[in-house]
Amino acid sequence: MLRTIIIDDDEIVTFLQKKLVTKSELDLDPYVFRDGREALKFLEFDSDPEVDYLLLLDINMPSMSGWEFLDNLNNIPGNERFSVVMVTSSIDRKDKREAANDPHVVDFIEKPISARNCEKLKGIARLSPYFVEA
């Protein structure tokens, strides 16, 4: 099973992403966190160890950047269950290169996220087994 977690400090962005994730059937009830620290706490202490998670992670957040979040993600036992999509308004190629070097990152999407982006995620090798139709 794959659950989706949206991590972004912008309330409008999280509202729209939740609608798109639900409509595209990535997850019918995604989790939403507006603070990276809260999301990390959830992943470490409250996430189901039998479930894999797809994290839609904003890079630029005030209290903890997406890069800081990724660094901390490595400290959580069982972190191989987490696949990260960097979602950002940044068009900096350095960000894309840095994201490509993290083993958790499966994609890099420029905001705003679209229905096409959600469908594309279903085809990524690491995620596609969760979306095979019976």
**Mean pLDDT value of segment 69-90:** 93
The two structure tokens encoding residue 34:
């507006």
Residues 6+ apart with CB under 8 A from 37: 63, 64
State the pLDDT confidence band at 25, using cuts at 50, 70 and 90: very high
Tell which phi-psi region holds residue 132, choosing left (phi > 0), alpha (psi between -120 and 50) or beta. Answer: beta
Q: Given a cut of 70, is residue 57 above it in pLDDT?
A: yes
Tens of pLDDT, residue by residue over 13-23, are: 999 999 999 99
Q: Does domain 2-131 have CATH number 3.40.50.2300?
A: yes
d(CA 58, CA 63): 12
CA distance 124 to 13: 23
Closest CA to 84 of 116, 59, 64: 59
Cite the beta strand spans of 52-119 per DSSP E: 52-58, 82-88, 105-110
